[in-house]
């Protein structure tokens, strides 16, 4: 939606509500599985999506994400501190996902059995889950997003994965193949929430907190050039492309989540530009 159109719709909503600003629930985004929407309500509004509370920043900003299997209709409800509440029905477009087969991975990385590996996997997962639980009431995402690295897309969001002939979890991000050592940049402003030099599946891993539950993850890196707690701005280098963890060659796996819901990073940035 263009800025002017959005102003017009908000203005129209205000007129319809007798110029009562408490009625304004502004939302725009990509209403499709894997998509993200941002919006604004009156500060102090209690917001729910299908009955589940949604974090609202002190200025009234909020974001919501739609998972890989999000249902066709979702209900957003805003209860402002004063004045009438507002309910909005969101139509979420369904997608079809590919099947991707990858062979030649080390057996240990597809079907781990040793107690040491299993303990590591559990600990890695716990660290990632902890970051995805955080509700930082910041709106770092306001400055927009960009591709962290450009190159051939070797894996898309949502694909059903068959690794060495065995069905595994769907692919939760976008893979971009690029030469080892290519700079990896943060997709947007945020705080570095996790740096791990050696995760079992994901190798050298960085997670960035963009506020209100939106996080991005950058994995299989060769080098990491940031520390936990660093504030980074869109386009700042955070590491280099590598093939650490479960990877058949150098590429960046880039993931984006809204809390524990995986989103499609490609929907946040649009097509790659030649000189990004």
209 binds Zn ion (CB under 5 A): no
The number of beta carbons lying within 10 Å of the beta carbon of residue 71 is 11
* Closest distance to Zn ion from the beta carbon of 157 (Å): 9
Asked if 65 touches Zn ion (CB under 5 A), the answer is no
Q: Indicate the residue among 9 and 162 with the shorter CB distance to Zn ion.
A: 162
Q: How far apart are CA 87 and CA 205, in angstroms?
A: 39
Listed ranges 29-37, 167-175, 188-196, 203-211: which one lies at the site for Zn ion (CB under 5 A): 167-175
> Other C-beta atoms within 10 Å of 225: how many?
15
Query: Phi first, then psi: what are they for 97, rounded to 5°?
Result: -110, 150
68 alpha carbon, distance to own chain's centre: 12
Residue ranges in 91-110 that form contacts with Zn ion under rule CB under 5 A? none
Give the total of residues touching Zn ion (CB under 5 A).
Answer: 3
235-254 residues in contact with Zn ion (CB under 5 A) are: 253
In the bound complex, what is the minimum distance in angstroms from residue 148's beta carbon to Zn ion?
Answer: 13
How far apart are alpha carbons 55 and 141 in whole angstroms?
14
- Shortest reach from residue 173's CB to Zn ion, in Å: 5
Nearest residue relative to Zn ion (C-beta): 253
Residue with Cβ nearer Zn ion (24 or 247): 247
Is residue 175 close enough to count as binding Zn ion by CB under 5 A? Answer: yes
Residue 124 and residue 200 in contact, taking contact as beta carbons nearer than 8 Å: yes
Q: Does 255 bind Zn ion (CB under 5 A)?
A: no
Does position 155 interact with Zn ion (CB under 5 A)? The reply is yes
Rounded CA separation 202/179 (Å): 18
| Cα–Cα distance for residue pair 224/245, rounded to 1 Å | 14
Helices (H) and strands (E) in the chain, counts: 4, 21
End-to-end CA distance of the chain: 23
Shortest Cβ distance from residue 112 to Zn ion (Å)? 18
φ, ψ (nearest 5 deg) of residue 3: -60, -45
Identify which of residues 40 and 253 has a Cβ nearer to Zn ion in the complex: 253
CB of 252 to Zn ion, least distance (A): 8
Least distance from Zn ion to the Cβ atom of residue 74, Å: 27
For Zn ion, the binding residues (CB under 5 A) are: 155, 175, 253
């Amino acid at each position: 939606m263009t800025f002017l159109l959005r102003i017009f719709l908000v203005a129209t909503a205000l007129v319809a509500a007798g110029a009562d600003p408490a009625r304004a629930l502004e939302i725009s985004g990509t209403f499709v599985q894997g998509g993200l929407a941002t919006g604004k309500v009156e500060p102090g509004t209690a917001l729910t999506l299908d009955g589940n509370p949604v974090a609202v920043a002190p200025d009234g900003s909020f974001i919501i994400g739609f998972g890989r299997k999000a249902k066709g209709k979702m209900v957003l409800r805003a209860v402002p501190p004063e004045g009438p509440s507002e309910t909005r029905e969101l139509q979420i477009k369904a997608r079809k996902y590919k099947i991707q087969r990858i062979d030649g991975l080390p057996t240990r990385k597809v079907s781990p059995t040793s107690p040491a590996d299993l303990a590591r996997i559990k600990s890695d997962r716990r660290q990632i889950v902890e970051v995805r639980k955080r509700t930082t009431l910041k709106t770092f995402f306001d400055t927009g997003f960009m591709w962290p690295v450009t190159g051939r897309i070797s894996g898309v969001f949502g694909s059903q994965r068959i690794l060495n002939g065995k069905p595994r979890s769907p692919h939760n991000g976008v893979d971009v193949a690029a030469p080892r050592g290519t700079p990896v940049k943060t997709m947007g402003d945020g705080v570095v929430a996790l740096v791990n030099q050696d995760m079992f599946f994901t190798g050298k891993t960085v997670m960035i907190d963009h506020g209100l539950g939106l996080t991005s993850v950058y994995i299989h890196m060769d080098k990491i050039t940031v520390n936990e707690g660093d504030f980074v701005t869109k386009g700042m280098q955070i590491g280099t492309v590598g093939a650490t963890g479960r990877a058949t060659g150098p590429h960046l796996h880039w993931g984006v989540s809204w809390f524990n819901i995986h989103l499609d990073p490609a929907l946040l940035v649009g097509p790659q530009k030649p000189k990004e």
